[in-house]
Amino acid sequence: MQKKFLVLMFVTVLANAQVVLTAKIHELSGSNVNGSIAIDVQHDKTSITGSVTGLTPGKHGFHIHEFGDCGGSNASNSGPHYNPVVKDHGAPSIDSHLGDLGNIVANAEGIASINIVNNVIKIEDANKIKGRSIIIHAGVDDFVSQPSGDSGVKIACGIIE
């Protein structure tokens, strides 16, 4: 009887597990884009929230990149989109890169209020994305072009901590 109770307690703890990661977003190449992101990784979903300022109005590609390094020319050290299971680029889904987060939308004042629910990143992925970079691109992610959605140059970068 005692063993069943311990197993039940362990499953309950896993079901209620949560990891909160953050990223401070910094401008690249004088873009004046800055902000902060919170990534609330839970058992069955991830909520990505935050605010980014200094954007041009409209949609901007938003991705987790392979390396946690915003250095190099235009953050080239961040590498490609995070893609641990080698899938094609696309809209956020189980059939695309784990780093495909879609687009964020800036209003007329250049502010993007981010509130994304991602059902692909799970609690077991929390340590896999920690230490990687979040990149904001100048253009729209078209979800089709390979390997990265033709979303243009990187205009902001932050390290997931």
Q: What's the predicted TM-score (pTM) here?
A: 0.86
Residue at 53: amino acid letter = T
Among the listed residues 7, 37, 19, the one whose alpha carbon sits nearest the alpha carbon of residue 123: 19
Q: Are 58 and 105 in contact (CB under 8 A)?
A: yes
- 105: tokens are 């939308």
* Side-chain half-sphere exposure of 56, counting CA atoms within 13 A: 9
Give residue-wise pLDDT tens across range 35-77. Answer: 999 999 988 889 999 999 999 999 999 999 999 999 998 899 9
Q: What is the pLDDT of residue 10?
A: 37
CB count in 10 Å sphere of residue 133: 26
Residue at 38: amino acid letter = A
**Can you list the domains of the chain with their CATH numbers?**
23-159 (2.60.40.200)
Residue bearing tokens 């987790």: 64
Among the listed residues 35, 34, 84, the one whose alpha carbon sits nearest the alpha carbon of residue 64: 84
Distance CA 149, CA 141 (A): 5
